[in-house]
Amino acid sequence: MTRIGIILGSTRPGRNGEQVAHWVLEHASRRTDAAFELVDLLDYPLPHLDEPMPPTYGQYQNEHTKAWAAKIGSYDGFVMVTPEYNHSTSGVLKNAIDYLFAEWNHKAFGIVSYGSVGGARAAEHLRLIGGELKLAAVRTNVALSLFTDFRDFSKLAAGDHQVAALTTMLDEVISWSRALAPLRQAA
């Protein structure tokens, strides 16, 4: 069974990302073509990158890095739920991504972003970062606007068009994750 991790990329108190990630998980869990799991960065309190060797060597020395590597290595693909902070993704998500290399390779990922312009700039930055890590970004992006997809900028109220986009994005992540399996096996 294809395993997809839904990474909640915000640890901020009062974060909107928690309800967004649970919305993704709720819809994804209705599917039978993959297994989905929520990966909350609050459960992986990684300090600012503190490994002495570059991640490309895979010579992790810290227990928190080894636990994070095991978790990410267990998935075939990802959905990254990201806020947009200062025209980019969150620092905590970027830090978590930077900790690893091979564990990301040859996997697909989709993005569910949120912010004043739907988190579009955060999503674009994640696509660039992913490419460097041999992650394949799928085309469809769910971009939730704080103005139209939330009530009072804090209560998720995504419309049917967003559910349709989420379904398409999940279809793509699962298909691409399966298509990339031979590359993961060869590595």
Per-residue model confidence (pLDDT) at position 187? 83
Distance between CA atoms of residues 11 and 167, nearest Å: 26
* pLDDT (tens digit per residue) in 53-68: 999 999 999 999 999 9
pLDDT category of residue 120 using cuts at 50, 70 and 90: very high
- Overall number of domains in the chain: 1
- Its domain, for residue 144, covers 3-186
SS3 of 67-99: the string is HHHHHHHCCCEEEEEEECECCECCHHHHHHHHC
Q: CATH number of the domain that 162 lies in?
A: 3.40.50.360
